A = this chain, B = another copy of it.
């Protein structure tokens, strides 16, 4: 007889195996293209607001709000593309991405947390100084992850 718990476990396993199937069907080159796409778009929407936070460009609250909304989504997108199957594709990822997954996960989480804080600040109508300061906190988390997990460019 199948108990309720077994059904739940089976449902979760089915759901997980679907996810795994969905990922494993993607070729390593596709995973790399997608994760590089997410990084390229993070750059597209982050650099202009970082320039504003640094006083190098005039602060435009509309662009800031829009870009932060995009970054909130983009910050979640690259990570499942760093599967072991992509290890041998030539990219800017350092070997540490694959040899130190726990440390890499920690750096991803730190970045995502900083972006989430920025997005919440923007949603709550946080003032320009607070938003600028949090943009620079996001920048720091980009840099500290790149130090270890991206080849020098």
Residues of A within 8 A of B (CB): 14-15, 18-19, 22, 26, 30, 33-34, 36-41, 43-44, 48, 57-58, 60, 63, 69-70, 73-74, 76-77
Residues of B within 8 A of A38 (CB): 37, 41
Number of copies: 2
Q: Can you sample 22 A-B contacts with CB below 8 Å?
A: A15-B58, A15-B60, A18-B57, A18-B60, A19-B63, A26-B44, A30-B40, A33-B36, A33-B40, A34-B40, A34-B41, A37-B37, A37-B38, A37-B40, A38-B41, A41-B41, A41-B77, A44-B77, A70-B76, A70-B77, A73-B73, A73-B74
Query: Nearest chain-B residue to A58 (Cβ)?
Result: B18
Query: Nearest chain-B residue to A72 (Cβ)?
Result: B73
Binding site secondary structure of chain A: helix
Among B34, B44, B57, contact of A34 (Cβ-Cβ < 8 Å): B44
**Given the complex of chains A and B, what is the CA–CA distance between A63 and B58 in angstroms?**
39
A48:B22 contact, CB within 8 angstroms: yes
Known A40-B34, A41-B37; contact A69-B60, beta-carbon cutoff 8 A: no
